Amino acid sequence: MKRLNGIRLPLRKKTEDKPVAALPLPQYVRIPMLMHRGTPCVPTVEPDDYVTVGQVIGKPADDMAVPIHASVSGTVTAIADYTLPDGNVVPCIEIESDGNQTVSRSCRPPQLNNRADLINAAKESGCVGCSGSGYLTYQKFAASDKFTMLIVNGAESEPYLTADCRLMVETPDDVIGGIALIMKLLKIKEARIGIQTDKPAAIRLMSDAAEKQKGISVIPLPPLYPQGAEKVMIFHTCGVIVPEGKTSADCGILELNVGTCAFLYRYSQTGIPLTERVVTVAGSAVGSPANLRVPVGTPVTDLLDECSCDYDKMHELLCGGPMMGQAIANAEDAVILRQQNALLARKGREFPEPSACMRCGACMRACPLNLMPTEIDRAFEQRDLRTLKQLHTGLCMNCGSCTYVCPAHRPLAETVTRAKAAIAQD
Amino acid sequence: MNELNLDAAPHIRGRSSVSRTMLCVLLALLPAAIAGCVSFGRHSAMVLLFTTFTAVFTEALCCLVLRRPQTVTDCSAAVTGLILGMTLPPDIPITYAVIGSAAAIILFKQLFGGLGKTLVNPAAAGHLLLLVCFMKYMTVWRDPMTNAVTYETPLTEKGATYLDLLLGNTAGNIGEVCAVGLLLGGIFLCFTRIISPVTPLAFLGSFALLSFIGGYDVIAQLLSGGLLLAAFFMASDYSTTPLTASGKCVFGLGCGILTFLIRHFGGWPEGVIFAVIIMNLASPLIGRLTRTVPFGAVMPEKPAKKEKASKAAAEQNS
């Protein structure tokens, strides 16, 4: 089968053999009201209120949100503004932990009998795409009632990240259980799990677990970035091309992350919503990288302290992987979001200044979607919107491969993002 | 705590760089250049040195005068200078070589905007300039074995064996005689993925096919003259050739056909330089017509078709 372009990245996955460890309970958590792709939630608690784990503290204002739950039990101390890594400012609820982790009485395993139940459960549990995207899972379920294929994304193609890998190695049955549950409720006959071959243990354990279920298969994929991008994953696992302007749901395909599937399974068993998650803490400034299970809203400094981060040498703090993650401006303020899969603290590295494009075409050979970043760069420089549209600039998913390979060190991905914005404004 | 870096993603970069690419090209040129110097002696080595250093010096000066960022360290000027030198006859006076090299950088590179913005290959254009200005010196060669002056190259003269052509024991321009060296360099560039093999293959392939049809000695035709140097080092130049594989193929085919026509029907001693420059001029157009089809892209319907369809529909309605 034809494969899309991909680039080989240094994987640096030092934590892939380290079991997930639980972080000691933080003294306080700060929970922003926007931890998904959509609109912010509205706080439903006041300062001095007592909250329990799993209690709703932020309710959606419209369809573009799912509830946000308290991740520790304790007292609400303040509701203040919080600046997210992408620059959005949203309300944020600070809860001082009482150390008991009392679970809310409202947390009961849901009744899951049909499609509507699943959509509702995904909504009530605050389920979002666990790989950093933050897409609302319930909307993915609701997008079509005629799914024919479930693609489960276990690629984890970004360097450093191992949270999904550990999940598949440690609890393959949770992932398979979630897949089987979704298949049953949405009446999907077939599921394929795409895993990169740099995770042989995960492939083996997941294949073993999948054997018990009908219709689930594991597809090994070469470790080429961006293997985990939705369109790339769908094409490489089942050969379907999602056309421009259409979604995967239009093609009858439901694409979910392994973490999302495992979470939904656990939710179906315990009824505890998305209040904790596993985060890979790594990077050159981190002394002992690890995968930590932390409550949502834990201050990042707690994680960095736990992993003996060298603050004096830290010059960059990333929410997410090094290719698509966002830089965090202020380490003291930042907290772990529910869709965040990694926290990378890195020593400073000066990138060379960009120079003129020599038209070598390396960016085109790197682009998984076969776009022409150098032509987009040139057209954007001339503010030539017509050419930008002809070049299908809007297709770019901002994987960053073009910037990574550019010998002239041009920030191509950034330029393409700006070009997309210019087209959208037009 | 340090102030944190807030650059946009991606936060890691590959190790490639412009200078690394250009150094690889220089390395690939070396075997043929050295072989040429061995064949033709000290003067030819001086020609290569002078064209290379003139190009580098001129580039540095241009950047200073035009107040551009200094680009001399990216080694692209050295590549241009060396290629130009390699296309010159071994006994050309140094002055002319220097003029050609400086003109290549000033007229055909910097005035167009520098690296990546050139319209025609600067080395090819520099060669062409010297050819039309100083034809007398540009069409005198020397037999490396007998040191006898000749006005003919193996292109016109019969008698050179394939081995002579491969090793460079023939009359010709400094860097063009040693076919083995050029092939080595070209293959090295293809394997390191610095150049795409599409252009040279299309170029050499179409030329070989036409020569075969025309009843010429295909191997001798391929190994002689500036064909290999042009195919691997000029037709693969980044900014003056199309970006996509299909574009490169069209470009290579055009070069091959033009070279054949000029060699056998034209009045010039050498066709490749003309062929490359003519195709360079066509390159922006080829580029526009051979864009990639992005993955999952929905291509717009051709407006002509739409009009026809709507016209037909209108007629039907009436």
B10 at the A interface (CB within 8 A)?
yes
The last residue of a domain, from among A270, A294, A325? A270
DSSP character at residue B201:
H
Query: Are A409 and B296 in contact (CB < 8 Å)?
Result: no
3-state secondary structure of A353: coil
Chain B neighbors of A159, CB-CB under 8 A? 12
- CA nearest neighbour of B188 among B176, B177, B171, B200: B200
In a domain, A396, yes or no: yes
Is the predicted pLDDT of residue B165 greater than 90, yes or no? no
Residues 50-109 of B with CB under 8 A from A: 69, 71, 74, 76
**Would you state the pLDDT for residue A132?**
78
Nearest to A355 among B18, B194, B295 (CB): B18
Query: Are A374 and B243 in contact (CB < 8 Å)?
Result: yes
Q: What's the token pair of residue B12? A: 């890691």
Cis peptide before B10 (omega within 30 of 0): yes
Of the pLDDT bands very low, low, confident and very high (cuts 50, 70, 90), residue B313 is low
Most B CBs within 10 Å, among A7, A13, A332, A370, to test the B interface: A370
Looking at the structure, tell me whether residues A257 and A367 fall in a common domain.
Answer: no
CA distance linking residue B116 with residue B113, whole number of Å = 8
- Let me know: does A144 contact A155? Beta carbons within 8 Å: no
Chain A neighbors of B8, CB-CB under 8 A? 327, 411, 413-414, 417
In a domain, A290, yes or no: no
- B299 min Cα distance to partner chain A (Å): 9
- A201 min Cα distance to partner chain B (Å): 27
Q: Which overall architecture, per CATH, does domain B18-289 show?
A: Orthogonal Bundle (1.10)
Domain of residue A140, residue span: 115-270
ipTM comes to 0.88
Q: Which residue of B has its CA nearest to A311?
A: B1
What is the separation of C-alpha A42 from the centre of its chain, rounded to a whole number of angstroms?
23
**Would you state the pLDDT for residue B302?**
62
Domain count, chain A: 2
In a domain, A350, yes or no: no
Provide the β-strand partners of residue B288: none
Q: B245-258 b/e with 16+ CB inside 10 Å = b?
A: bbbbbbbbbbbbbb
pLDDT tens for B216-250 read 889 888 988 889 999 999 999 999 999 999 999 99
**Would you state the pLDDT for residue A133?**
80
Residues 6-65 of A with CB under 8 A from B: 7, 9-10
Chain A neighbors of B21, CB-CB under 8 A? 358, 360, 407
**Would you state the pLDDT for residue B316?**
59
Q: Where are the domains of chain B?
A: 18-289
Nearest to B10 among A241, A314, A400 (CB): A400
CA distance linking residue A215 with residue A151, whole number of Å = 12
Query: Are A323 and B4 in contact (CB < 8 Å)?
Result: no
3-state secondary structure of A230: helix
In a domain, A410, yes or no: yes
pLDDT tens for B239-298 read 999 999 999 999 999 999 999 999 888 877 778 999 999 999 999 999 999 999 999 888
B2 at the A interface (CB within 8 A)?
yes
pLDDT tens for B169-187 read 888 899 998 999 999 999 9
- Let me know: does A321 contact A159? Beta carbons within 8 Å: yes
In a domain, A74, yes or no: no
Decide which of A3 and B207 is more confident. Answer: B207
CA distance linking residue B313 with residue B309, whole number of Å = 6
Chain B neighbors of A408, CB-CB under 8 A? 17-18, 116
In a domain, A134, yes or no: yes
- pLDDT by 10s per residue, chain A, length 426: 688 999 999 999 999 999 999 999 999 999 999 999 999 999 999 999 999 999 999 999 999 999 999 999 999 999 999 999 888 999 999 999 999 999 999 999 999 999 999 999 999 999 998 877 889 999 999 999 999 999 999 999 999 999 999 999 999 999 999 999 999 999 999 999 999 999 999 999 999 999 988 899 999 999 999 999 999 999 999 999 999 989 999 999 999 999 999 999 999 999 999 999 999 999 999 999 999 999 999 999 999 999 999 999 999 999 999 999 999 999 998 999 999 999 999 997 788 899 999 999 999 999 999 999 999 999 999 999 999 999 999 999 999 999 999 999 999 999 999 999 999 988
Most A CBs within 10 Å, among B11, B75, B291, to test the A interface: B11
Query: Are A403 and B116 in contact (CB < 8 Å)?
Result: no
Give this prediction's pTM: 0.91
Chain B neighbors of A409, CB-CB under 8 A? 13, 17
Q: A56-80 b/e with 16+ CB inside 10 Å = b?
A: bbbebeeeebbbbbbbbbbbbeebe
B11 at the A interface (CB within 8 A)?
yes
CA distance linking residue B190 with residue B193, whole number of Å = 5
B16 at the A interface (CB within 8 A)?
yes
In a domain, A199, yes or no: yes
Beta strands in A21-117 (DSSP E): 21-22, 28-32, 41-43, 50-51, 56-60, 68-69, 74-83, 89-97
pLDDT tens for B128-155 read 999 999 988 988 888 887 777 877 665 6
Q: A189-208 b/e with 16+ CB inside 10 Å = b?
A: eebbbbbbebbeebbebbbe
Q: Which residue of B has its CA nearest to A367?
A: B294
The size of the A-B interface in CB pairs under 8 A is: 158
Rg of chain B, C-alpha, whole Å: 22
The last residue of a domain, from among A218, A241, A270? A270
**Would you state the pLDDT for residue B309?**
55
Looking at the structure, tell me whether residues A265 and A384 fall in a common domain.
Answer: no
B295 at the A interface (CB within 8 A)?
yes
Chain A neighbors of B243, CB-CB under 8 A? 359, 361, 364, 372, 374-375
